[in-house]
Structure 1
Amino acid sequence: MNIVLGISGSIAAYKAADLASQLVKQGHEVHVVMTRAATEFITPLTLQTLTRQPVLVSLEDEKQSWKPGHIELADQADLFIVAPASANIIGQFANGLSPDPLSSIYMALPRTTPVLIAPAMNGKMWLHPANQRNVERLKEDGCRFVGPAEGDLACGYEGTGRLAAVEEILGQILD
């Protein structure tokens, strides 16, 4: 299966390395697309090494071909996963904003391509009415969600907002 793995800005971004590695070990072709904020938590080189594929971070990275890379990735995706998905990227998706390759790929996906979103953020952000409206809108658009989980959060709070366990995300992919 050809999987596009999106990674947005969250401390949980480091867990995406394990997810990417597990997907590759299962025989999937994994193409990573990161927001600039995600690169503050994990490097593109790590993910490029694990997936053996170039990592897309900015639209400027697409200069190697006449065809826009984000459109090609959207066209070829059998599955689009975002793990972790920040409140910012959820808001961009829900409101049709596409300022970066990750949200541009989401906007260019054929409507038949399954989308799996694994949120990770502060619990107050997760429960904020604006974020919940965005989540509901994405569910209405056909997106599936896994998590967030409860527990200790990176911000020092305890509550809902942790990235779902990699094993749980992998289980959702099999469904």
Structure 2
Amino acid sequence: MKLQGVHHVAYRCRDAKETVEFYQKHLDMDFQLAIAENEVPSTGEPDPYMHIFLDAGNGNVLAFFELPSQPQMGRDTNTPEWVQHIAFKLGSMEELLAAKERLVDAGIEVLGPTNHTIFKSIYFFDPNGHRIELAANTDEPGMLQELKRVGPEMLEEWSRTKKAPKTAAWIHGEGEFPGYQG
């Protein structure tokens, strides 16, 4: 099997119309289409829903379900709020800073930019409580290749110790990037 990409990623929303308007206004996403059913096609269960699809750029689609018959949505209380998020790529730091200014001017609370060494990002919440990240790549030549090279070793060490390996500590400001070692 050869996957051709992500068809779409779907999340729940409180209000489909409000969600479309938020993503159109603040992230310039085009509203692609809506599907509404009174029964779940895969199970036949009666459960009316509105399924909306937004263009997230370069063939990527972000979708949401409004489920008015279900209990009010909440977050996964067993997972810290920063873990589950939707990250979108911007073309430059200038675009990232302009996006932050635009969001702040619209009254949206924004955290960052946060420096992750290979990219910088800002964070905010959509009207449904989903954490959104906007990221701009800032990697230097060889950084991504080096992270790919040491990835299996880091994963093995993590599996054994459940502690952050020091193999690529430079990504968190511990020392200088040694260059690609491959």
Q: TM-score, normalising length from structure 1? A: 0.26
Q: Which has the higher helix share?
A: 1
Q: TM-score, normalising length from structure 2? A: 0.25
Larger Rg belongs to: 2
Q: Which has the higher strand share?
A: 2
Q: Which has the higher contact order (CA 8 A, sep 6+)?
A: 1
